[in-house]
Amino acid sequence: MRSPILDYLDTVIEQTAHVDSGALADYIPELAAADPTRVAVALCTVNGTVYASGDTDHHFSIQSMSKPFAYALAIEDYGLESVLDHVGVEPSGDTFNELSLDPETGKPRNPMINAGAITTHALLKTEHGSSVERMLNLFSKLSDRRIEIDESVATSELGTGDRNLGLAHLLRATGALTQEPRTAVEGYIRQCAASVTVRDLALMAATLANSGVQPHTQERVFRRDTTRQVLSVMASCGMYDAAGDWLSTVGIPAKSGVAGGIIGVLPGQIGVAAFSPRLDMHGNSARGVDMMQKLSQDLGLHLMEAGRPARSSLRETRTATVDGQKATIYVLQGDLVLSSIESLVSEIINSAPGTDLVIFDMSRVDDVLPVARRTSSDMATKLINRGHRIVLVDPEATVIDFRDSQGRTVERWSRQQLENRTDDARRPGQ
């Protein structure tokens, strides 16, 4: 049976078929020769399920959609503070290839415009491979397949790269650029020529949605705080001088490329990608913007709308006989964030456990934010002070090593230990 989500993506393509406005990017001859009728759309959940429709196997160059990933890599290399010394985070309000720097700081305004992206590319550490190799390895990790450069696109753009060279010279003159202008521009242009499909892009975007963990391989590619920074800059600067319009109509961090691709990220839920080569006046895919607007509306992706209270972390509260005594077991699940830990704490406060032994079964918990860690430790202290014995079933040791001011601590059991020590068999359906 075909998934209704795939059927839905088909309708996104059908219902935007009338959009034939815009023009191919003609400053790169190879892009001017693209087939303007190609179209594709894909989405990938944070669980790694990819849905794609249209010309799903069509390859095109990643172009500026590479910029958020190069920015992420630079932050991983040096830390955010050092990267901010070279490139700002303010929207420029200009087109992507504007020959201008921030008049106050002399730095590129942000890493999503060419000036900032060339600077960022040149920053990448090269002890373990060239910056281009590192970017290709990164794209391969993110999309879970080997990504290569489309050499004809790279050669074509190198032949007409005067504007980017001009930018690089300007950057060199102000001291922002650490490399020779030609070397930096060549590297940046090759980064932009990586050849991808909408599936690849949806997976790359889903890694950002999944706070930096690749959904297929489970590899942490970027730190959580790096991912947050990248998404913030995508939200404010990703769609160039259309960023404000984009944030209000589509409402998710996004990035476009001049070959016609757009990626979008709904943190915690999905990565989306659309492709159609004709560009609007801002240099964003005209039909791609339409497809994204539709996806956002139909799937409820808008950030200012999607934020609903997190699913309760408390899967169930039950009592059982453990070690021959009655115990209250709180079974937790999902991500422990502020709103979810709050619901657990209020449950405990409103209906205090009636047994001495209190067990927190955290074996179904995915991630624990610092605020949840602190709050749960405080809660454990209160319970211990009231004379409770606390057991944590916490296989990933997600909660810090707990010890209260009097040195009293919680016990840690494995899930197996909990099962072995629980006397009453669980009734089916419980």
Shortest Cβ distance from residue 284 to ligand GLN (Å)?
8
When the beta carbons of 164 and 296 are compared against ligand GLN, the nearer one is 164
* Annotated binding-site residue numbers for substrate: 64, 114, 157, 164, 188, 240, 258
Report the amino acid identity of residue 221: V
Binding site for ligand GLN (CB under 6 A): 63-64, 96-97, 114, 157, 164, 189, 192, 257-258, 283
Binding residues: 64, 114, 157, 164, 188, 240, 258
Helices 67-78, 224-237: crossing angle, 10 deg rounding: 140
Q: CB-wise, 143 or 164, nearer to ligand GLN?
A: 164
Which CB atom, from 189 or from 418, has the smaller least distance to ligand GLN? 189
- 252 or 258, CB closer to ligand GLN? 258
The least CB distance from residue 419 to ligand GLN, in Å, is 55
> Is the CB of 110 or the CB of 114 nearer to ligand GLN?
114
Q: Shortest distance, CB of residue 283 to ligand GLN, whole angstroms?
A: 5
Q: How far is the CB of 5 from ligand GLN (least distance, A)?
A: 29
CB of 194 to ligand GLN, least distance (A): 11
